[in-house]
A and B are shown apart, each in its own frame.
Chain A
Amino acid sequence: MSLVSFVKVNHTNHDQLKQAIVDSLNLIHYRPPSKLENIVIKPNMCYYWDYSTGQTTDPRLVAALIEILREKTSPEIGISIVESDASAMKCKYAFKFLGYEKLSQKYNVRLVNLSEDKSDPVEVTAGGQSFSFMVPRIIQNADLKINVTKIKYSLQKIKITCALKNIFGCNPYPKKFRYHPKIDEAIVAINKAMKFDLCIVDGNIVSGIQPCRLGLVMASRDPVAVDVAAAKIAGENPNRIRFIRLASVEGLGKTSFISKGVPIGYFQARYPRKNAQKKLMSKAYNIVTSIGLGKRLGLE
């Protein structure tokens, strides 16, 4: 079974975030490979919402991770932070507005817009569906790929966003909404095309029915186990989330895991969960927009 660590962050400052990452990695017995030349970090960026909304990875946590990686490997190690353009988000602005441009200057790390980077086509299937993705060279050539993601509710039928969904953002094709009719299969397929080595979850601020300072850092090598844990924390049944089940069937990881650190119940009790009214509203929104009434009702 996979190991998933749960560490509590008491105060949001650089030292505590750094210590929380170190502890979370120690709990899963993670050591970076000794011979590394280049590392890719994929934070979660979503539109231009800043970290305080719980929607995007806190650049301070990424900064702490960069320091740890350089301390454990070499101060000269090449590190790239990657993201791609999306339907409503331009990478160049997201990097700037969300604080990654400053981080890049301070820590001498590269910011890479995957939509503009060289990439190669890859055919991949998941759940009986075939996909053709462009896989960026920087991801193909990285010695270590780290997924630094969030836990948040998703308006779409996928219910939650965490490790597996974040890799969807490595797809260089900007109009990602076009995958929405087959979103579960697309998420799994892209994770098959681009396998990441390590997941770190920035659960310091999470986005439930409202943002909440949950003070959590999670780590695992297994993205499926991370998503199962995230679903449980968010009050969703992981067995009813199709992309998680499919990812497990497709061999991306295991749905059972061994917890290390703070008991998961501590975070489950504090996550700002949907109540019955919110669940109903969410269903109504999905129905209204799916039948094309969203614009008529001023929801789009």
Chain B
Amino acid sequence: MKKIGLGIIGLGYIGKVHLRNSLKLTDANLVAVSDISKRSLNEAKKDGAKKTYTSYEKLLKDPQVDAVVIALPTHLHFECAKRAAEAKKHILLEKPIARNVAEAEEIVSAAQRNAVRLMIGYPLRFNKVMIPVKEQIKSGFLGDVEVAHAINVGSGPFYHRAQDYAPSPVPEWWFKKELTGGGALIDLGSHMINLFRWYFGEITDIKSHLGYRFNLDLEDHAICIAQFESGTTGVINVGWFSQKYQVKVELFGTVEHVIASNIPPNRMIAAAQMLIMNNSTFWQPHVAELGYFVNCIANDIQPSPSGKDGLKDLEAIESAYKNPIQLNS
């Protein structure tokens, strides 16, 4: 069976994770990478990328590339995803699908028009602790889930970055609303909204309270209350304000409660895993996600979470932004 030719567009933080993971796949070949940074391209070449391009347009013209992973800043998703679809490349597009619903609709429609598969990167959907929760809901083990909490709190873009021992600044696009479409809600909330939509079905109503501890023009934390078609009320709590990382869901059913937490391994264990396996268990969902995407392309299956899922998540987020809950401070 022919291996899927993969291209990675964007070698920022998450692009490098995809690069590392793509080299582990048995049914795909990493054909090419593109980035504007020559330094990142040289590193990628050393890591095993066969071809490097300074523009994604050139990568999209490469006939050996069947599918692309788009790991660019959010404001570049629209143009890049449309062009990838027009070049007949299947697409794994990092979340959020776009800055706004209008752009997301265009991306979905471009993928449909060109008959290419479009998947949105939501690694929690491939997380070993989050998947059994879906089974517990489906099997009735929890009874009816009345209330569900989702937490995704960390340092967000303030995560301390370094390259070759030299600290590097947070890319400035993170701080511009016109480039991101929003703050913690669109960045981290998209993960949790997608996960809860997978668990509980469509959102029928959503409101949000936004917080601004760091005086940014966009929110650094958000609490959403959402009503799902299953009858579950979800509280989604996301933030960029903490040095401590936590991703957790708590479901309270009429019969049972369940807590699922994505805990990163401690640094010593992670370092040992990196030394032995060139990967850490923390990145397992990303490995599974990319493997699933390749499998969908190889077997002509519509991936899930799809582009339409990404669009629905963004519709919910836009609705949350438009329905604020005001609290007196």
Contacts and interface: CB of A to CB of B under 8 A. Distances in A.
Interface of A: 47-50, 53, 86-90, 93, 96-99, 101-102, 175, 177, 281, 288-289, 292, 294-300
Contacts of B163: 300
Contact of A86 (B165, B167, B172, B270): B167
Interface in B146-169: 158, 160-169
Contacts of A294: 162, 165
Contacts of A89: 169
B274 A298 contact: yes
Contact of A90 (B169, B243, B267, B268): B169
Nearest to B164: A295
B274 A177 contact: no
B23 interface: no
A296 B274 contact: yes
A143 to B, nearest CB: 31
Contact of A99 (B169, B215, B275): B215
A182 to B, nearest CB: 16
Chain B interface residue bracket vs A: 20 to 34
Contact of B280 (A98, A289, A292, A298): A298
Given A88-B169, A294-B165, A97 B214 contact: yes
A101 B161 CA distance: 24
Nearest to A93: B175
A194 to B, nearest CB: 23
Given A93-B175, A101-B215, A289 B274 contact: no
Contacts of A295: 164
B271 interface: yes
Contacts of A50: 213-214
B271 A298 contact: yes
A87 B213 contact: no
B263 interface: no
Given A87-B167, A299-B267, 4 more contacts: A87-B168, A90-B172, A93-B170, A300-B162
Contact of A177 (B158, B165, B175, B280): B165
B215 A177 contact: no
Given A49-B243, A97-B215, A297 B274 contact: yes
A223 B175 CA distance: 36
A300 B167 CA distance: 9
Given A50-B214, A101-B215, A88 B168 contact: yes
How would you classify the secondary structure of chain A's contact residues: helix, strand, loop or mixed?
loop
Given A93-B175, A177-B165, A296 B215 contact: no
Contacts of B275: 296-297
A296 to B, nearest CB: 7
B216 interface: yes
B45 to A, nearest CB: 16
Contacts of A299: 267, 271
A298 B268 CA distance: 10
Given A297-B271, A297-B274, A299-B271, A88 B161 contact: yes
Contact of A48 (B158, B165, B166, B270): B158
Contacts of B165: 177, 289, 292, 294, 300
Contacts of B162: 88, 294, 300
A96 B216 contact: yes
Nearest to B163: A300
Interface string B206-222: 00000001111000000
16 contacts: A48-B214, A50-B214, A87-B166, A87-B167, A87-B168, A88-B168, A90-B169, A96-B214, A96-B215, A97-B215, A101-B215, A177-B166, A294-B165, A296-B274, A298-B270, A299-B271
A102 B213 CA distance: 12
Nearest to A47: B160
A255 to B, nearest CB: 31
Nearest to A101: B215
Contacts of A48: 158, 170, 214
Contacts of A98: 214
A169 B259 CA distance: 45
Interface in B248-263: none
B160 to A, nearest CB: 6
